[in-house]
Structure 1
Amino acid sequence: MQSSILPAVFMGWLAAKLEKKFRQWVPEVIDLILTPFLTLFTSLILGLILVGPTILIIENLLTEGIMYFFELPLGLGGVIYGGLIQFLAVTGMHHTIVPVTVKMVAETGYDIINPIGTAAIAGQAGAALAVVLAQKNRQKRVTMIGSVIPAFFGITEPAMFAINLPKGSPFLFGCVGGAVGGGLASILGLAAAGTGSTMLPGLLLYIGDGLLLYILVIIVALLTASYSLKSFIKRK
């Protein structure tokens, strides 16, 4: 369990529930001493005997399933993940993939999801940048640039919620860029030496192995989203 975080997360939730239950029947005069002891003792026993092993089995199956998904031929896994992950990002559900990436790095030493997620971010950045360049009002253009810059540091929310989502089509074309870049990353077999950083900060994870390919994936995703959106706007 030393390379796993899901059991720890679940145990934190279970301990909070147990504490509430114990406080309901422990006398107030000894609550300060007895409740923490009972909570920790019960959580420890349940964690070692039941919760930890069960969650670990589930986590291993989930990781194996995701690894199999990303090994689909012709970069199909990268296309699907790169194209759809930003739909999860809108709701904040993209954070559910973090335990899997942490476990992947702990067990294999690399993260194959990182470059695909980076492509998805680059796609949104490219679409937002296309909207900014098409904006003729100088004041609005300057304001919009402030929302695009964080995307180059791995934070897509400003660009998505301030520019892409309100207009609709930029978000979708950003996903197209993410799909193309993600597919390319899968075909190239690109993998990061760690996890947690994307876009420009993520360059540090590829120094010495795959740096140029990482930059290529970012450029492809960004340009695909930007130019496809520009073409769409011109046809309207």
Structure 2
Amino acid sequence: MSISRQSVEQIVQGVGGKENISAVTHCITRLRFALKDESKVDKEKLESIDLVKGSFSTNGQFQVVVGQGTVDKVYKILVELTGHTESSKEDVKEAASKNMNVLQRMVKVLADIFIPIVPAIVMAGLLMGINNVLTGPGIFYEGKSVVDLHPQWKDIADMINLMANTAFTFLPALIGWSAMKKFGGSPLLGIVLGLMLVHPDLLNAWGYGEALKKGEVPTWNLFGFEIEKIGYQGQVLPVLFSAYVLAKAEIFLRKRVPDSIQLLVVAPVALLLTGFLAFIVIGPVTFAIGNMITQAFVTVFDQFAAVGGLLYGGLYAVLVMTGMHHTFLAVDLQLISSAGGTFLWPILALSNIAQGSAALAVGFASRDEKMKGLSFPSAISAFLGVTEPAMFAVNLRYRYPFVMGLIGSALAGMVIMILGVKASSIGVGGIPGFLSIFPQNWAAFFLGMGIVLLIPFALTFIYTKIKAGKSK
């Protein structure tokens, strides 16, 4: 595709001119700007450019959707026109952080930690879904599972289950690695810290409740102080706070210890101090806080299931717009660890489908060939779990498809919460998401899926036709 310099110049003018750009980079489909003043952006002018498929602001960045295969060419011309050097994503994030408030910065920290480990968690969720298909009773045979009637599949299911559980069992190691990168420490030390918190010599966190009832929780005796000897499998908060302490301790020591003995001093001392703090203070306190958060969510959604599902379903896509949806990944992981499953993630999966359904309706109802060409692939992307093209390039451009998607998602969220749908893991947040749902909940989840496929599509299609009729 040939890119005209004039179109790129129009984009520069649309974001307030080159003097308004602090830094700019790009991802697979979007230009990412860190702007000095977003009030200078002319969205109407921007979205009238043929090259532009949508624009939005999130996490201190102003993003312009250009399209895969085109964005890198546009970016090269843009760099030439503005005189900016090519920036990395980290450069733009750093520049954009100056435009964020305290809450946005906290959300950004969580996002930067959890996004890199999402592929591993999704992979584990898909494998767990395959295991569910093999071991879930009543899916293919009445009251029986595949492994019940075909024992030759049992060991295969066991192996798949082991592969699936690895990412969740050693989740603290994944978080430790990512958190140390974010906090400026050595990622390798983060892995060691995470593995230390799930060491086989410790009481498994999933057996803690039963051991507590029986009075069999093992302890260390440190000069008369009894410290519970428990691990933190599947836990989020203990390793998150411990990694912060470890990173700061490492940075502190590196600045003060001579280079010649850093290898002998920095890592051992930092890990020793953090280890003691993790098992004596950080772990027990954050473990209790994590369980309280889990219990609070479970209680609220148990007592007010319909309202909780309606609100979360209706607001999830709004959270995606602000970037705050990343904070709920930690809640999902905590629910899976402490409650044996999450009731929030199924709503996420349906919300993605709802936005895709609304975008699909725009494609069928619109007479604009450009919009048709954008709507169909965007809808498919949303059905497979990636909603940004559908939301920002189609639904939010016209607003009403986005609202119709929210309505469908809210109704579906209410229905599946009333029916008690839960996911055993986090998977692909779209149509393939059923693999992460407990098999006994599949019928209810498919009912919710039917709602988000039909209602947003019908409402958007009808509204588009009515609107088109009035404009004649």
Provide TM-score, normalisation by structure 1.
Answer: 0.90
Match of 2:276 among 45, 50, 74: 45
Match of 1:233 among 464, 467, 472: 464
- Single out whichever of 18-27 and 189-198 deviates more from structure 2: 189-198
Q: Does the alignment pair 1:100 with 2:364? A: no
Match of 1:111 among 332, 339, 342: 342
Report what 2:384 is aligned to: 153
Q: Is the 8 A contact 1:131 1:170 kept in 2?
A: yes
Q: Does the alignment pair 1:14 with 2:245? A: yes
Report what 1:67 is aligned to: 298
Root-mean-square deviation (CA), in Å?
A: 2.0
Equivalent-residue separation in structure 2 for 1:49 and 1:191 (angstroms): 34
Amino acid at match of 1:44: G
> Matched residue of 1:210: which SS?
helix
**Higher relative contact order by CA 8 Å / sep ≥ 6: 1 or 2?**
1
Q: Does the alignment pair 1:23 with 2:254? A: yes
Amino acid at match of 1:118: A
Higher-helix-fraction structure: 1
1:74 shift after superposition: 5.9
Amino acid at match of 2:440: D
* Structure 1 residue runs without a partner (length 5+): none
Equivalent-residue separation in structure 2 for 1:139 and 1:73 (angstroms): 44
* Structure 2 residue runs without a partner (length 5+): 1-231, 468-472
Matched residues, number = 236
1:119 shift after superposition: 2.1
Report what 1:217 is aligned to: 448
Q: Does the alignment pair 1:191 with 2:422? A: yes
- Single out whichever of 120-129 and 75-84 deviates more from structure 2: 120-129
Relative to structure 1, is the Cα distance of residues 56 and 201 closer, same or farther in structure 2, using a 3 angstrom cutoff? Answer: same
1:235 shift after superposition: 4.2
Report what 1:141 is aligned to: 372
1:172 shift after superposition: 2.0
Q: Is the 8 A contact 1:180 1:224 kept in 2?
A: no
1:63 shift after superposition: 1.0
> Matched residue of 1:198: which SS?
coil
Q: Is the 8 A contact 1:199 1:218 kept in 2?
A: no
User: Could you say which structure has the larger radius of gyration?
Assistant: 2
Higher-strand-fraction structure: 2
1:204 shift after superposition: 1.7
1:190 shift after superposition: 1.6
1:181 shift after superposition: 0.7
1:88 shift after superposition: 1.4
Q: Deviations over 1:68-89 (max 9, x none)?
A: 2222346111000011111111
Match of 1:200 among 396, 418, 431: 431
Equivalent-residue separation in structure 1 for 2:435 and 2:427 (angstroms): 11
> Matched residue of 2:334: which SS?
helix
Report what 1:124 is aligned to: 355
Amino acid at match of 1:136: R
Report what 2:322 is aligned to: 91
Identical residues among aligned pairs (%) = 33
Amino acid at match of 1:162: A
Q: Is the 8 A contact 1:4 1:99 kept in 2?
A: no
Q: Does the alignment pair 1:178 with 2:405? A: no
Q: Deviations over 1:179-207 (max 9, x none)?
A: 01100111222222333333222222347
Q: Is the 8 A contact 2:424 2:436 kept in 1?
A: yes
Q: Deviations over 1:115-170 (max 9, x none)?
A: 22222112211211111112223354133322221211122122112212222222
1:102 shift after superposition: 2.1
Equivalent-residue separation in structure 2 for 1:72 and 1:130 (angstroms): 36
Equivalent-residue separation in structure 2 for 1:13 and 1:94 (angstroms): 22
Equivalent-residue separation in structure 2 for 1:147 and 1:56 (angstroms): 41
Equivalent-residue separation in structure 1 for 2:428 and 2:286 (angstroms): 27
Q: Deviations over 1:3-30 (max 9, x none)?
A: 3122112222222222111122212322
Q: Deviations over 1:40-94 (max 9, x none)?
A: 1111111111111111121111111111222234611100001111111123321
Relative to structure 1, is the Cα distance of residues 61 and 208 closer, same or farther in structure 2, using a 3 angstrom cutoff? Answer: closer
Q: Is the 8 A contact 1:114 1:192 kept in 2?
A: yes
Relative to structure 1, is the Cα distance of residues 91 and 18 closer, same or farther in structure 2, using a 3 angstrom cutoff? Answer: farther
Match of 1:79 among 291, 300, 310: 310
1:178 shift after superposition: 1.0
